[in-house]
Amino acid sequence: MAQDTLLRINDLKLYFRTASGVVQAVDDVHFELAHDEAVVVIGESGCGKSSLAKAVLRLLPRNVHTYSGQVFLNGTDVMKLSDEAFRRQVRWVNMSLVPQAAMNALNPVMRVGDQVAEPMMVHYDVNRERALEQARRMFEHVGVPLDFMQRYAFELSGGMRQRVAIAMSLVTAPALIILDEPTSALDVLTQANIMNMLKRIKQEMETSFILITHDIATSSELADKVAVMYAGQIVEVGDAARFFTEPLHPYSRKLMASVPRLRGDAEPEFITGQPPSLVGLPPGCRFASRCPARFDRCDENPPVVADDGREVRCWLYDHGDLSTPIQNETEMEQVQTE
C-alpha cells in the first residue's frame, strides 16, 4: 500500500497577510491519495478549498504569510524543490489544475486546439505537430469533435469549453489532476456529461483526481474518498461508501443533512450560524459554536482520531473508536477528567 501512495500531504499550512490580520486559509491539512483514486474535498465557500489546491500546486499570491508543510509526490517532498524545479518537474508533468471557471479563462484569440497542445510544447519540448497529435487524442478522450480544434473559445458552448479546459490539463498525462469546481457553472445535463467523462478518463487513463466542490450530490459521482473541510482544516477523511451512508464529524452530518434530495423523504435541515472568520481564530474546535454535540472539552483543539482508514478531528471520538461517538454525559465527563 505504501508504494501505491501518489500524494501525501503533511501539516500543510497556507496563511495570507491581509489588512485585518493573518488569514489561516489552510491549516494543518494532511491526507493521502493513492494512484488511480479520486478524493473529493467538500466544504462551504470560504473554508479554504481553493487555497488548498493552490497550496498543493504552489500557485501562491504575493501576500503569503506562512507556507509550510510537506507534500510528498511519489515519495519525494516537492516542497523542497526550488520554484523553477517545481515548475519543470511537477506542474503539468505530474500534477495539473483545472482552475475554477477555467472554461471562461481560455485564451480568446487562440484556437482551442493550439491551446490544448501548448503545455506539451512547453513541458516536453516537442514540436507543434507532435503536440497537436497528442491534443487530438485528448479531444477524443473528453468527447469534443476533432473539427472543434480549429475553433475559438467563443464558438463553443459552456460544456464544450469545460471539456477543452479538462483536455488541456490532461494533455501532458499527469498522474494527478486537481479540479476546482469543474461543474458548478453548468447545467444539470452538462454536469452529468462531464462527470461521466471524468469517470471514463479515470478508467482509461488511470488518473487520480482531487475534486474540489461544494456540490455534495454531484461529488458522489466520482468520489472514492471524501475529505470535509471546515474553516481551513480537514475535519473528516474517509472512504466514500462509509462517508455517504454514515458521516462521523458533527459538521459532516449536518452538511449531509442539508443536501436537498430528489428521492426519498428526508426533509433537509440547515446549519444555524456562520463559519468563523479565518482571521484570529480562537483555540478549540472551529465548529464548536454551531455544533449540536458541543461540550466543555471543545474549547481545546480537538485531536485527529484515526481508526480503520477513517480520520476525524473531533473530541467525540477521543476514546479512539470511530464506530460510536461519546453519547451520554458520564462519558463526556470521563473524557474531560482524563
Partner 1 sequence: MMQANTLTIEDTTETQNGTVLSVQDLRVWFELRRWGFGHAGSVRAVDGVSFDLGYGEAVAVVGESGCGKSTLMKAILGLHLPTEGDIVFEDTAISTLGSRRMQWYRSHVGYVQQDPFGALPPFFTVGRILEEPLIINGIKSSTERQERIRRALTEVKLTPVEEVTVKFPHMLSGGQQQRVVIARAMILQPKMIVADEPVSMLDASIRVEILKLMRALQLSHNLAVIYITHDLSTVRYFAERIFVMYAGQVVEKALVDDLLANPSHPYTHALLAATSDPDAANAETFREVPPGEPPSLVHPPTGCRFHPRCSHAISGLCDTQEPPEFDIETAHLSKCWLHR
Interface residues toward partner 1, by CB under 8 A: 38, 44-45, 157-159, 187-193, 195-196, 199-200, 214-224, 239-245, 254-256, 258-264, 267-271, 274
Across the beta sheet with 5-18, the strand order is 21-34, 5-18, 64-73, 76-77
Residue 201 Cβ vs partner 1, minimum distance, rounded to whole Å: 12
Q: Which residues of 266-283 are buried (b: 16+ CB within 10 A; e: fewer)?
A: eeeeebeeebbebeebee
110 vs 146, which CB is nearer to partner 1?
146
134 vs 252, which CB is nearer to partner 1?
252
Helix residue ranges per DSSP H, the chain: 49-56, 83-89, 112-124, 128-142, 158-170, 188-205, 216-219, 240-245, 250-257, 329-337
16 vs 230, which CB is nearer to partner 1?
230
Cell triple for 196: 461521466
Of 171, 169, 10, 5, give the one whose Cα is nearest residue 73: 5
Residue 156 Cβ vs partner 1, minimum distance, rounded to whole Å: 10
Residue 115 Cβ vs partner 1, minimum distance, rounded to whole Å: 21
77 vs 155, which CB is nearer to partner 1?
155
14 vs 194, which CB is nearer to partner 1?
194
Cβ atoms of 26 and 66 within 8 Å: the answer is no
Give me the DSSP letters along 48-68: SHHHHHHHHTT---TTEEEEE
Residue 284 Cβ vs partner 1, minimum distance, rounded to whole Å: 21
Residue 305 Cβ vs partner 1, minimum distance, rounded to whole Å: 22
By DSSP bridging, strand 208-213 and strand 38-42 are: parallel
37 vs 318, which CB is nearer to partner 1?
37
Residue 119 Cβ vs partner 1, minimum distance, rounded to whole Å: 27
Cell triple for 325: 461517538
CA distances from 168 to 23, 141, 248 (A): 32, 11, 37
